[in-house]
Amino acid sequence: MTRLASIINVKDDSEMVLVPSGDSIMGEERKVVHVDEFYIDRFPITNSQYKKFVDATGDKEPFFWNNERFNKPLQPVVGVSWNDAVAYARWAGKRLPREIEWEKAARGGDGREYPWGHIQPDSTRAVYNLDPNTGAPAPIGDREEGMSPFGCYDMAGNVWEWCEEWYEEGKFRVVRGGSWVNHQYILRSAYRSCSYPDGKDNNVGFRCVKDVE
């Protein structure tokens, strides 16, 4: 059966791209793993999308909702905990990505170092290494040169993205991708990090995935 290369998730109006089933190279150790097909958001979830969720559910506003550095409609939402991200995903009929799904979407099936290939990051490809006192995430879609093989934006830099798994059971959840404040080394698609699940940081957001029906 032929799958659509992209779909619109009606509930939150997000464009999602198909990541086909197949083997992929994962992690620093470059293990070959099989990943089943799935759809993933082309962009991180934005403030505008998160507002729809807040308005529909009465859920709490994100921590930086009234901060002008972080609250523009097309910036990725930040100041959301892991549980906030899960609640949004459930409302939208989606879920958070597993690590192997996130990493395949970011680096393709060929094990590239960054979403765009092996070239070192620069400001045309990623938002990173900004001053923590003055910097901020860029609006989605700003860095076409940094697109992943499947057409995803901002999978290196801009905001860390929550994943489904524990990094350390009962203590930290996995985040992937690096952020606007991090060094380029951390932007590598194999790099893993973590955050407290209750954390509401100004450099952590998320994108969602959806199973293929």
List average pLDDT for each run of 10 residues in the chain, which is 213 residues long: 87 97 95 96 98 97 97 98 98 98 96 96 97 98 96 98 97 98 96 97 98 91
pLDDT value of position 2:
65
Helix or strand (DSSP H, E) at 106 = helix 99-107
- Domain layout of the chain by residue ranges: 6-211
Number of other residues whose CB lies within 10 A of the CB of residue 158: 31
**Whole-angstrom Cα distance, residue 23 to residue 88?**
30
Distance between CA atoms of 107 and 105, rounded to whole angstroms? 6
Give the right CATH number for 6-211 from 3.40.50.150, 3.40.50.300, 1.10.10.10, 3.90.1580.10.
3.90.1580.10
Burial of 155 (0-12, 13-18, 19+ CB in 10 A): buried
Altogether, the residues listed in the chain come to a count of 213
pLDDT at residue number 108? 94
Other CB atoms within 10 Å distance of the CB of residue 73: 11
CA 167 distance to own-chain centroid: 16
* Global pTM exceeds 0.75: yes
Q: State residue 153's pLDDT score.
A: 98
User: Which pLDDT score is estimated for 195?
Assistant: 97
